[in-house]
Amino acid sequence: MLVVDIGGTSVKIAAMTQGAMNQGKRRKFKSGPTMTARQMIAGVKNLARGWKYDRISIGYPGVVKDNQPITEPHNLARGWVNFDFAAAFGCPVKIINDAAMQAVGSYKSGTMLFLGLGTGLGSALVVDGVVVPMELAHLPYRRSTYEYYLGLHGKERAGNKKWRNHVAAVVADLVDAFRPDDVVLGGGNSKRLKQLPKACRLGDNDNAFAGGFRLWDRPQKRAR
Taking 50 as the pLDDT cut, the residues of the chain under it are 221-224
> Would you state the pLDDT for residue 222?
46
> Would you state the pLDDT for residue 133?
87
Which segments of 70-209 are extended strands (E)?
A: 93-97, 111-117, 121-127, 130-134, 140-141, 144-145, 182-186, 200-202
Report which of 84, 143, 154 is spatially closest to residue 117, judged by C-alpha positions: 154
Burial annotation 34-72 (CB, 10 A radius, 16+ → b, else e): ebebebbeebbeebbeeeebebbbbbbbbbbeeebbeee
> Would you state the pLDDT for residue 1?
92
- Cα distance between residue 84 and residue 144, in whole Å: 34
What would you report as the CA-atom Rg of the chain, rounded to the nearest whole angstrom? 17
> Would you state the pLDDT for residue 20?
66
> Would you state the pLDDT for residue 114?
97
Angle formed at CA 60 by CA 57 and CA 61, multiple of 5 degrees: 160
Neighbours of 203 (CB within 10 A): 23
- Structural domains of the chain, ranges and CATH numbers in brackets: 2-100+207-217 (3.30.420.40), 109-203 (3.30.420.40)
pTM: 0.87
Neighbours of 182 (CB within 10 A): 17
Eight-state DSSP code of residue 190: G
> Would you state the pLDDT for residue 171?
96
